[in-house]
Amino acid sequence: MDKAAFLAKFGAVFEHSPWVAQAAYETTDGLLNDPETLAVRFESLFLASDPALQLATLRAHPQLVCALSAPDELTRNSKREQSVAGLDQCSASELAEFGRLNADYKEKFGFPFIIAVKGLTRQEILEVFRKRLNNDLQLEFQTALQQTCRIARFRIMDIING
C-alpha cells in the first residue's frame, strides 16, 4: 500500500490527527495488514509523542452527545460510535447531565472527556464520567490517552476486518 492509500485508509483513526498515521506509515516494516501489529504501532507512536501533540489530539475530540446539540462537530467515526452507544437518544435529563459534566470536565482538565463508548450504555458512560471528574489532572490525562488509543484500536480493527 502506498502512502496516499495508507493515509486515506488510516488517517482518521486518531480524531483529526493524521500525523499518527503518517508516523505509523513511515515506521512500518510491511506489516500493514496485521491489525494487532498495526494497532500497537499506532498506540506506541502516539504514547511516545510530545505531550503538547498528545494534548492537541485530545482537544480534537468532540464532546459526548454533541450529535444532538452540535452535529457538525462529529466526524463520521464519532457519529457512528456515539449513535451505537445510544448517545443520540438521550432523555432531556440525560442530555442536561451530559452537558453539565462536559462543561465541568473541560473546565477542570482543559480537554473533552474521552471514553471508548463501544459496548457501553448511556448509564455506564455517565457513571464513568462522574467518577473520572474526581481524578487529578495527571491521572486523567493518562486515562484520556489510554481511551484515545482504545478508540483508535477499535477503528483499526473495523477498517481491517471490515
Active site includes 61?
Answer: yes
d(CA 113, CA 21): 23
Cell numbers for 134: 474526581
Q: Which of 6, 32, 61, 151 is catalytic?
A: 61
Q: Where are the alpha helices (DSSP H) in the chain?
A: 3-10, 19-26, 35-48, 51-59, 66-69, 76-84, 92-109, 122-132, 137-161
**Residues with a known catalytic role:** 61
